[in-house]
Every structure is written in structure tokens, then in C-alpha cells.
């Protein structure tokens, strides 16, 4: 069954605990946390303090998406506060192999992510080392943007490499996911759908999650 990772970027931050519990009750599989530094992306959001605060709120794995320069500098801090999956942008790490190894050595799951215009070739050699490959379906920085359709070709490309090499990482997409685009993603080989506005902008989160999962 396709997993759903609601992005709390679109949640009501004044009621973050309730918002997380609501999507947990509504069937979410992960909680997606968007960390932005105002440098790698043109926006600033949350950091380790927020991860630490929400860790005791939910039993769900925290799926932390690092949109920051020099991710190596912060890996141990995010591990210590309770991240379960730490996903780093290939474009932000000059030593990607080392970055992934550092995450794995710290005992949590390592993910790698590329922007829409970045070719799959950039992450090809690290595919055997990761637990998750995230393909951005918007340019990172903001919630509520439109899905970029050409990324579906990259999903198919990564899925093909996964099958050819007998690898077991999950393929996740992030950005502009709703019930309509979710269907296209699943058909292309996606295992985990991140959705922010399509879940948190709806009153009934269980219904929103179900319609994305079954879309
Ligand atoms: O990483 C990001 C944006 O950079 C995402 O996780 C967004 O938060 C997704 O928001 P929607 O497009 O689903 O509203
Ligand atoms: Co994200």
C-alpha cells in the first residue's frame, strides 16, 4: 500500500501537536518535516528544536527533508533529537557519499533528494547506499505549488534502476501531490507520497489522506 507522509509545513503551527495527532489518526505513515535555511532555498522554516518538540507527540517515523547548505554540519543534531529518516539534497552536498554514510553510521535511515531539473545520474552511484530516494515534483521552498509532470519520467527511471539492481529503497515524491497527481505517481512507481496543502487545507484529514492514497 502506498505510504502517505503529510508535510507539516502546511499545518497550523500554533496547534502543531493536534495537527500531527489528527493526521496520525487519519492514517498517515510518516510525518514529513521540511527544514529550510534561507540559503539553499528562498525560505526559512524549522530546525532541530521543532523536531525535538514533536518527537514525543507521535509514534510515526519523522521523515526529515533537509533543504540546507552543508547538511553534514547538522546530521548529528537531527539524529539526537529523533529524526528517523534524514534526506539530503544531492545539490547541497559536495561529498554526497560521505554525507549518506554519516547518516547511516548514526543508525537512522538515509535518503537522497534531487530537484526537478537535476538528472538522476547525479545520484546513480549512491542508490545502493540509500533507504529512500526523494524526487522533488516542485522547486523546493514553499508549499502549495503545482506539480511538475516531467519528474514522472525520472520516477520511472529510478524505479527501473531499482529493479535492475535488485535494490529496496523507497521512492518518494514531494510537491503538488493531490488525489489526481497521486495516481500518476503511483503508476510510475512511487511508494511514498508527501502532501502538505492537499491534507492540511482540508477539514477532514482522514478523508484527504484516503483520497490521495487511493486516488
Ligand atoms: O519540501 C517541500 C517544499 O519545498 C514540501 O514538502 C512541501 O511542503 C509540499 O507542499 P505541497 O506542495 O504538498 O503543498
Ligand atoms: Co519536503
Q: pLDDT digit string (tens) for 76-113?
A: 999 999 999 999 999 999 999 999 999 999 999 999 99
**pLDDT at res. 134:** 99
ipTM: 0.99
How far apart are alpha carbons 23 and 31 in whole angstroms? 9
Across residues 134-163, what is the average pLDDT?
A: 98
Asked whether residue 152 carries a pLDDT value surpassing 90, the answer given is yes
Using an 8 Å Cβ cutoff, are 133 and 159 in contact? no
How far apart are alpha carbons 26 and 208 in whole angstroms? 9
Cell numbers placing 136 = 522533488
Mean pLDDT of the chain: 98
CATH homologous superfamily for the domain 3-214? Aldolase class I (3.20.20.70)
- Sheet strands (E) in 78-191: 85-89, 109-114, 132-136, 170-174
For 196-209, write each residue's pLDDT tens digit.
999 999 999 999 99
For 33-92, write each residue's pLDDT tens digit.
999 999 999 999 999 999 999 999 999 999 999 999 999 999 999 999 999 999 999 999
Q: Is the CB of 34 under 6 A from ligand 1?
A: yes
pLDDT band at 215 (very low <50, low <70, confident <90, very high): confident
Q: Is the CB of 138 under 6 A from ligand 1?
A: yes
215 is in an annotated binding site: no
How far apart are alpha carbons 176 and 210 in whole angstroms? 16
196 is in an annotated binding site: yes
197 is in an annotated binding site: yes
How far apart are alpha carbons 185 and 189 in whole angstroms? 6
107 is in an annotated binding site: no
Kindly give the number of the ligand 1 atom that is closest to the alpha carbon of 176: 12
Asked whether residue 15 carries a pLDDT value surpassing 90, the answer given is yes
Write the CB contacts of 56 (distance below 8 Å, at least 6 apart in sequence).
none
Q: Does the pTM exceed 0.95?
A: yes
Q: Is the CB of 38 under 6 A from ligand 1?
A: no
Q: Is the CB of 144 under 6 A from ligand 1?
A: yes
List the shell of residues around ion ligand 2, using CB closer than 5 Å: 34, 65, 174
Task: State in Å: Cα 87 to ligand 2 middle.
Answer: 9
Could you tell me whether strands 3-6 and 192-195 are parallel, antiparallel, or unpaired per DSSP bridges? parallel
Across residues 128-148, what is the average pLDDT?
A: 98
Residues classed as catalytic: 34, 174
Q: Is the CB of 196 under 6 A from ligand 1?
A: yes
Kindly give the number of the ligand 1 atom that is closest to the alpha carbon of 196: 13
pLDDT band at 127 (very low <50, low <70, confident <90, very high): very high
Amino acid at each position: 500500500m502506498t505510504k502517505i507522509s503529510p508535510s507539516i509545513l502546511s499545518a497550523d503551527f500554533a496547534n502543531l501537536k493536534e495537527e500531527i495527532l489528527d493526521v496520525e489518526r487519519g492514517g498517515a505513515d510518516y510525518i514529513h518535516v521540511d527544514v529550510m535555511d534561507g540559503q539553499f532555498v528562498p525560505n526559512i522554516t524549522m530546525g532541530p528544536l521543532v523536531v525535538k518538540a514533536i518527537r514525543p507527540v507521535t509514534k510515526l517515523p519523522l521523515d526529515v527533508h533537509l533543504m540546507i547548505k552543508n547538511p553534514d554540519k547538522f546530521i548529528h543534531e537531527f539524529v539526537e533529537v529523533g529524526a528517523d529518516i534524514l534526506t539530503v539534497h544531492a545539490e547541497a552536498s559536495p561529498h554526497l557519499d560521505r554525507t549518506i554514510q554519516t547518516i547511516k553510521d548514526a543508525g537512522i535511515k538515509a535518503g537522497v533528494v534531487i530537484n526537478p531539473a537535476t538528472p538522476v545520474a547525479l545520484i546513480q552511484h549512491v542508490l545502493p547506499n540509500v533507504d529512500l530516494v526523494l524526487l522533488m515534483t516542485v522547486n523546493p521552498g514553499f508549499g502549495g505549488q503545482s506539480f511538475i509532470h516531467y519528474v514522472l519520467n525520472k520516477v520511472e527511471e529510478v524505479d527501473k534502476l531499482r529493479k535492475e539492481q535488485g535494490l529496496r529503497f523507497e521512492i518518494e515524491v514531494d510537491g503538488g501531490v493531490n488525489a489526481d497527481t497521486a495516481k500518476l505517481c503511483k503508476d510510475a512507481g512511487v511508494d511514498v507520497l508527501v502532501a502538505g496543502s492537499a491534507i492540511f487545507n482540508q477539514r477532514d484529514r482522514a478523508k484527504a489522506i484516503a483520497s490521495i492514497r487511493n486516488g
